[in-house]
């Protein structure tokens, strides 16, 4: 059974304007909710800082100052800040609500991105950060969790997605509140710039370094350093150069490696001056990649050239003797002009002077076949024509096709590499769950293996997402209806259990079992414990009250009272020292409560001090060690203790006075 997490903000009205609906995420510095701005009737994101930060007045002052600066940042790729204030002592920001996923969510689902998608996302990130740099704001915590992506409907192509960067200045506000403290670095170690580790300084080039690490992760599906303690990972950025992405993804272009190396240089002076300069480098690299792709496999266009004209006289003149025989132009033949009568006869009758009526084509064919060389030429031409027709038919019917290879069972990287080597274009459809095939392995292909396919054709592959598993969402603090819908959406069986709860209103979730974050297959029963509101009986305070009166009051409320006894030097005997249920606890009829009742101070045994030759001082010390005080009733100078009261061995409360009489 997991520990319940009550969220009293759900359903509350912040600043008389923002109605909190659901909790979206909880991070290291703040919790993010969705809320409805009841004044403007729009959905917003409400980020409330954790109490641990809000207790520092320096942080509150710096947070307010940074919030005003961030609110002035206006850019399509920056999450807009609408409002700032305090709710019950906790600073909050009201921001634009982006309906989408974080870059971290996309990398978790897809492992890594293509260079086109990665550069498309990076350009919008840099556009946002460049706008902040121009305004004098440094982000200081660039990472996939702070990049929100709204994908275009009906496609997973990130080239058309809208990218927005969040949390400008928040890390600076938190760290500034600790300037006089222990000097700890506030950053995400996987993306931290070396200068932040060594001396804590940062400038726009520090954001450029973090952007370079994000690009590396988008391309490879991992960060450069992730093995070891956080401080060890941070110092890896200082001591080691970031490896080239092609080390992990061999088919990446060199331009991509150069881009990552430029952004993640350990020497800040070797990096672009700010995000704007980095954006220019990314656009230059992207243009180069597109140009290379457009020229790959194509014939270059021949340039237009100026040539000399040939006049009519030269055209009919004999070839120059210097011109080789094979290149001489044939001399023009002057056609005989038919006699006028013959022209008229041909025009009127359509036949020659012999009146045979034979067509020119038939005359040419007869003359051709009458010559031995002509017949050979004709039959050779027919053979060549038949061969060309046969080869053309073979090419379009069979020659340009090959057999589709079997790619089922290969990993995504193996299938992509195979397609690149053999000239196929590999595309991936929507991945599917498969209980037997590992995640990232090809489940099916189209065309199937052994089918005919163009030599440079497209093979559509479907990857496995592994066994169908879903993490149990965090439902504590949300309404049961929402929790039930979310659990049903991931194919879980919902079982509701209603209990009383002092903190949550009726109908809101207290906890789930299995607990939030547990990864389970479909069909698992999830027990959702739901609040029925406060219990009908409120436990009163009975501490320091007389036990009999307290017992009577609790019994009249319907509680079962049990008694426990304990000695006390501060609470009188018969009075209640403590109760098992705190005051104000809501309980139901028949609930047991234990009252601990004082028996007064603890008892002690009076020691023997008479007739043992003790002086008063000696007897007083022995009695004090036993928890009593000595009183000299009758003094006899130089005498010994002859009598005492209470007598030795008597059980009395500690602290009781023991009277002694002195005698000779």
| Residues with active-site annotation | 141
Sheet holding 657-663, edge to edge: 629-634, 657-663, 640-645
DSSP string, 503-569: SS-TTBEEEEESPTT-EE-TT-EEEEEEE--S-SEEPPP-TTSBHHHHHHHHHHHTPEEEEEEE--S
- Integer Cα distance of 451 and 441 in angstroms: 21
At 531, give phi and psi (nearest 5°). Answer: -75, 140
Largest CA distance in the chain: 190
Cis peptide before 276 (omega within 30 of 0): no
392 CB burial (10 A radius; 0-12, 13-18, 19+):
exposed
Q: Which two tokens stand for residue 360?
A: 């020119």
Tell me the sheet residues that pair with 640. Answer: 663
Looking at the chain, the number of H-run helices and the number of E-run strands are: 18, 29
For residue 285, what are the contacts with CB-CB under 8 A and spacing of at least 6?
119, 255, 256, 258, 259
**Contact status, residue 593 vs residue 623, Cβ threshold 8 Å:** no
Nearest residue to 539 via CA among 496, 587, 493: 587
CB atoms within 10 A of CB 429: 14
CB atoms within 10 A of CB 280: 13
- Integer Cα distance of 235 and 388 in angstroms: 70
**Contact status, residue 609 vs residue 622, Cβ threshold 8 Å:** yes
Buried-exposed string 20-31: b where 16+ CB fall within 10 A, e elsewhere: bbbbeeeeebbb
Nearest residue to 255 via CA among 265, 247, 245: 245
């Amino acid at each position: 059974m997991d520990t319940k997490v009550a969220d009293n903000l759900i359903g509350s009205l912040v600043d008389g304007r923002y109605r909190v609906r659901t909790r979206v995420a909880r991070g290291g510095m703040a919790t993010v909710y969705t809320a409805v701005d009841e004044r403007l009737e729009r959905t917003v994101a409400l980020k409330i800082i954790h109490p641990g930060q809000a207790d520092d007045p320096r942080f509150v002052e710096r947070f307010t100052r940074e919030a005003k600066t961030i609110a002035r940042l206006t850019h399509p790729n920056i999450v807009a800040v609408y409002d700032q204030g305090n709710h019950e002592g906790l600073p909050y920001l009201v921001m634009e609500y982006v309906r989408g996923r974080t870059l971290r969510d996309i990398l978790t689902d897809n492992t890594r991105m293509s260079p086109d998608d990665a550069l498309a996302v990076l350009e919008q990130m840099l556009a946002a950060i460049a706008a902040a740099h121009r305004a004098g704001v440094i982000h200081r915590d660039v990472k996939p969790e702070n990049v929100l992506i709204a994908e275009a409907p009906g496609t997973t192509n990130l080239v058309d997605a809208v990218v927005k960067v969040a949390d400008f200045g928040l890390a600076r506000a938190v760290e500034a509140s600790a300037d006089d403290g222990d000097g700890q670095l506030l950053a995400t170690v996987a993306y931290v710039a070396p200068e932040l580790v060594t001396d804590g300084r940062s400038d726009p080039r520090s954001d450029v370094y973090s952007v370079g690490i994000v690009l590396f992760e988008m391309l490879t599906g991992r960060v450069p350093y992730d093995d070891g303690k956080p401080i060890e990972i941070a110092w890896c950025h200082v001591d080691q150069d970031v490896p080239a992405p092609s080390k992990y993804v061999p088919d990446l272009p060199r331009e991509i490696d150069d881009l990552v190396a430029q952004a993640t240089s350990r020497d800040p002076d070797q990096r672009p001056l700010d995000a704007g300069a980095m954006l220019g480098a990314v656009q230059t690299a992207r243009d180069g990649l597109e140009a290379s792709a457009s020229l790959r496999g194509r014939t270059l266009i021949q340039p237009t050239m100026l040539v000399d004209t040939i006049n009519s006289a030269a055209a009919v003149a004999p070839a120059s003797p210097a011109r080789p025989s094979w290149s001489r132009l044939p001399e023009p033949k002057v056609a005989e002009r038919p006699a006028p009568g013959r022209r008229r006869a041909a025009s009127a009758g359509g036949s020659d002077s012999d009146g045979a009526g034979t067509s020119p084509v038939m005359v040419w064919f007869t003359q051709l076949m009458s010559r031995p060389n002509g017949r050979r030429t004709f039959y050779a031409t027919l053979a060549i024509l038949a061969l060309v027709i046969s080869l053309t038919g073979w090419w379009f019917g069979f020659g340009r096709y090959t057999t589709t290879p079997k790619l089922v069972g290969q990993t995504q990287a193996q299938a992509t590499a195979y397609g690149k080597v053999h000239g196929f274009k590999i595309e991936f459809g929507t991945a599917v769950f498969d209980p037997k095939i590992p995640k990232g392995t090809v489940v099916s292909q189209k065309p199937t293996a052994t089918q005919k396919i163009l030599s440079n054709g497209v093979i559509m592959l479907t990857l496995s997402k592994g066994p169908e598993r879903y993490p149990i969402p965090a439902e504590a603090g949300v309404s049961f209806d929402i929790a039930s819908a979310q659990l049903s959406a991931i194919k879980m069986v919902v079982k509701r259990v209603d209990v009383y709860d002092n903190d949550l209103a009726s109908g809101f979730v207290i906890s789930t079992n299995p607990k939030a974050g547990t990864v389970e297959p479909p069909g698992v029963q999830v027990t959702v414990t739901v609040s029925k509101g406060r219990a009908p009986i409120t436990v009163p305070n009975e501490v320091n009250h007389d036990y009999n009166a307290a017992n009577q009051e609790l019994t009249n409320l319907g509680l079962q009272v049990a008694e426990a006894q304990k000695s006390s030097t501060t609470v009188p005997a018969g009075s209640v020292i403590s109760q098992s249920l705190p005051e104000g606890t809501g309980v139901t009829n028949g609930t047991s409560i234990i009252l601990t009742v004082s028996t007064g101070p603890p008892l002690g045994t009076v020691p023997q001090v008479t007739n043992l030759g003790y002086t008063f001082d000696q007897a007083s010390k022995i009695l004090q060690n036993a928890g009593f005080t000595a009183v000299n009733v009758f003094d006899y100078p130089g005498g010994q203790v002859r009598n005492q009261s209470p007598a030795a061995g008597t059980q009395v409360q500690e602290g009781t006075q023991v009277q002694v009489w002195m005698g000779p």
